[in-house]
Structure formats: structure tokens, C-alpha cells
Amino acid sequence: MEVPYDYSGKSVFVAGGTSGINLGVAHAFARAGARLAVLSRSQEKVDAAVAALKTHGGEATGFAADVREPAAVEAALRQAGAQFGGIDVLISGAAGNFPAPALGISPNGFKSVVDIDLLGTFHVLRAAFAHLNKPGAAVVNISAPQAYIPMELQMHVCAAKAGVDMITRVAAMEWGAAGVRVNSVSPGPIDNTEGMRRLAPTESLRKLVTDSVPLGHFGSTGDIAQACLWLASPYAAYVTGVVLPVDGGWSLGGFAASGAGLKKLLSAPPQPKSDGVIE
Ligand code: NAP
Ligand code: COA
């Protein structure tokens, strides 16, 4: 799809921007002419993402850092800000997830997800503010429907992402006076992503997921990118503090729409197909 946005001369920093949804968002901004900086833990993923982003013809740089380490995050944002002459758009989407019942999550497992998703978002936004090109800069956090729809096997993620949405709203209030808008995109089930590989690893689970989406199919990374391009653009100049679901209507009913909780989905017994073969 042709990108109807022009981000030439703009700088975009994507925390967690080396795979999946966030890399898709980074590509969309690079295609629209922006300079890109991405950050994630793996140097290998950072190098691959930077090389791929450069194929659009613009500048791209990357940082191997963990969002749980504030000093490393600060150093990366300082360097990107200096290299690009400030940052116009910040996308914050580093996250971790695994499905497990509350009693199967160790204190360190719960802490790991909260540290990455919630504290990591705080570290990234806090470190970015000094380098944002105010007024006019925009922040988009990548949240999830777990922030406002309770989901079995996702207590840690629900708690962490609910906090992320509050960070979005409070930052929008505090930074509005500086001309910085802060919004969030809440993706539904997005195909070909690590998140979906973890939450819907089999064909029968994938079908149960799409059955619970009013539009009847998975979303794409491009769907999320389009929302980010709009929210960060002057077309959304009076929009701040919103959590925008881009989920095919999934959050209207969640898994309840298909009459099944995630717990049931993940523990569903194998279904015999009509030819008698067990899936
Ligand atoms: P993904 O490919 O695993 O993306 C996660 C990114 O964050 C990767 O670049 C990863 O790279 C980085 N990351 C993870 N932990 C990090 C840490 N501690 N410090 C720095 N970077 C870290 O997963 P995805 O499914 O595309 O998810 C992307 C975002 O969309 C997440 O915020 C997720 O909650 C949200 N989301 C996804 C779905 C979905 O359907 N997939 C639905 C709703 C919301 P490294 O491994 O190199 O660190
Ligand atoms: N079920 C229960 N607990 C789990 C688990 C699972 N499937 N996977 C990890 N954990 C627990 C570990 O056992 C550990 O706890 P412990 O020390 O008490 O044993 C804790 O989580 C941390 O695990 P570790 O692998 O050391 O953490 P990490 O910091 O290297 O990785 C994760 C963080 C666990 C979130 C990891 O899955 C990750 O890096 N995810 C990023 C990619 C991703 O999740 N993408 C989808 C985004 S929606």
C-alpha cells in the first residue's frame, strides 16, 4: 500500500524495533523518508534491522541495549539525539510475554515482564524527553488489549500493559504544555509475530483466535504501522492521551466473543479432522 505520509527530515526512534510489529512500524517510517534508530537486546537483531532499514535509502542506526537498564537506554537516546539533531517520533514497544497461569509464574517471571513492558516504557520515555524536538514531537507506545481486557494466562502482561496505558495518559497530560503528544496503539492479534507464535501456536488455536475477531482475520504489521504513521503526524495534531485499538474489533468482546477463554484455547484437546486424522 502506498504510504500517504512524508516524514523526510524527521527522526524516529523505535525501542524494541528489531522484529515483528515494531520493525514493521520502523520500516513504514523509513519508507516515508524518516531517519531511523532502533534499540533491542540482541546485537545480531539490531544489525539485521539496521541493514534492512537502510534499503529504503535513508539513514538508520541501532543500539544493543536492554530497556530494563536505564543508563543504557539513556546513552542510546543521547547518541541518537546527537546524531539526528533531536528525535521527532518515539515509538516504545519493547515487550516480553509467555502464557502461564498465575500460579505457574515465578516472582522473577512476573517481574521480568513488568520490568520490560512497564518499567522499560518509563525508562524509554523518561530518557527520550530531553531529546524530543519540542513542540511537535510525538510518542506512540505499543500496548495490548490485555491492558483493559482481563485474559487468563496473562496476569503479568495484563498488569504491565495496564500500567503502560496509564503512562501514556499521564505523560500526555504532563507533556502537552511542551507540545509533545503521547498516544498508544493497542494491536489485536497480528499475524507472523512472536506474540502470536507464543499465544496461538497451532492451526486450531489460530482459528479460535480469528473466530473471536469481529472482522474475522488476523491483522498485519502494516495495520499497526498505518496507525502509528497517523498518530505521529500533523493529521493527529489535536490527539493526545488516547489508547487506539487496532484489532479488528477484538477488544469489543475478547475471547468471550468465541465463547472460549485463552486457558481453554491453550488446553483444548486435539480435534479429529473429518478424515479421522488427529491435528
Ligand atoms: P517481538 O517480535 O518479540 O518484538 C519485541 C521486540 O522487543 C523485539 O525487537 C525484541 O528484541 C525487543 N525486546 C524484548 N525485550 C527487550 C528488552 N528487555 N530490552 C530491549 N528490547 C527488548 O514481538 P511482537 O509480537 O512483534 O510484539 C511487539 C509489540 O506488540 C509488543 O509491545 C507487544 O506487547 C505488542 N503486541 C503484540 C501483539 C501480537 O499479536 N504480536 C498483540 C498485541 C500487542 P530483542 O529480543 O533483541 O531484545
Ligand atoms: N512460563 C513460566 N515462566 C517463564 C516462562 C514460561 N513460558 N518463560 C520464562 N519464564 C520465567 C523464567 O522461568 C524466569 O523465572 P525464574 O528465574 O524464576 O525461573 C523468568 O521468567 C525470566 O526468564 P528469563 O528467560 O531469564 O528472562 P529474560 O529476561 O531472558 O526474558 C522473557 C524475558 C521471559 C519475557 C522472554 O520470553 C523474552 O525475552 N521475550 C521477548 C520476546 C517476546 O516475548 N515477544 C513477544 C512480545 S508480545
| CB-ligand 1 contact for 8 (6 Å cutoff) | no
DSSP classification of residue 257? G
Q: In the chain, what is the straight-line distance between the N-terminal and C-terminal CA atoms, in Å?
A: 36
Residue 230, classed as helix, strand or coil, is: helix
DSSP classification of residue 217? S
Q: Using the mean position of ligand 1's atoms as its centre, give its distance from the Cα of residue 225 in Å.
A: 14
Q: Using the mean position of ligand 2's atoms as its centre, give its distance from the Cα of residue 112 in Å.
A: 7
| CB-ligand 1 contact for 194 (6 Å cutoff) | yes
Question: With contact defined as beta carbons under 8 Å apart, do 29 and 36 qualify?
Answer: yes
The model carries a pTM of: 0.95
Interval 198-213 mean pLDDT:
95
Query: Which pLDDT tens digit goes with each residue over 227-246?
Result: 999 999 999 999 999 999 99
Helices (H) and strands (E) in the chain, counts: 11, 7
Q: Using the mean position of ligand 2's atoms as its centre, give its distance from the Cα of residue 109 in Å.
A: 6
DSSP classification of residue 177? G
DSSP 78-93: HHHHHHHTSBSEEEE-
Indicate the class that CATH gives domain 11-278.
alpha beta
Interval 161-181 mean pLDDT:
98
Residue whose entry in the numeric block shows the C-alpha cell 490485555: 146
pLDDT of residue 253: 87
Among the atoms of ligand 1, which is closest to the Cα of residue 94? 7
Distances (CA, A) of 56 to 3, 28, 33, 35, 170: 13, 10, 8, 10, 35
The residue ranges of every structural domain in the chain are 11-278
Q: Does residue 277 register a pLDDT over 70?
A: no
Among the atoms of ligand 1, which is closest to the Cα of residue 44? 47
65: β partners: none
